Amino acid sequence: MYASTFTFAKKQYDDDFHRLDQAIAEAAKEIPGYLGEEAWENDRLLSNVYYWDSLEALQALMQHPTHLQAKARQAEWLDGYQVVVSQVLRTYGDGRLGGLPLAAATP
């Protein structure tokens, strides 16, 4: 399993930002290999974490036209960003959070 974590500093959002953000989330869910997502934010940063069963699935989102459109305009809405792509060695928990992948991953 792989995780892609997109963390960014907030700037001013407009309707285009919200439209593209929603379209990217919907596109991710349609890609074979999408396993789930979670998000957190504080008063300055927002982070979206997407989980994938393969790097190919992650690349499909990165190459999606809507994602490329948003990336080209990121400076309008973001005050800096960072992406971390990582291989998940294992996940565990009590299962009560729901929606997050809790399956063991193989290296």
Q: Residue 83's domain is classified under what CATH number?
A: 3.30.70.100
Tell me if 107 is assigned to some domain: no
Q: What is the pLDDT of residues 12-68, one digit of tens each?
A: 888 988 898 899 889 999 999 999 988 899 888 999 999 999 999 999 999 999 999
Nearest to residue 1, comparing CAs of 40, 75, 60, 55? 55
- Residue 96 forms part of a structural domain: no
Which domain range does residue 47 map to? 2-87
Report field, pTM of the whole predicted structure over 0.85? no
pLDDT digits (tens, 9 = 90+) for 55-99: 999 999 999 999 998 888 888 888 999 999 999 988 888 878 766
Look at the chain and report how many structural domains it folds into: 1
Q: What one-character-per-residue DSSP string does 5-39 give? A: EEEEEE----HHHHHHHHHHHHHHHHSTTEEEEEE
Residue 23 is assigned to a structural domain of this protein: yes
Instruction: Identify whether 92 is part of a domain.
Output: no
86, amino acid identity: S
Asked whether residue 97 is domain-assigned, the answer is no
Closest CA to 87 of 62, 63, 105: 105
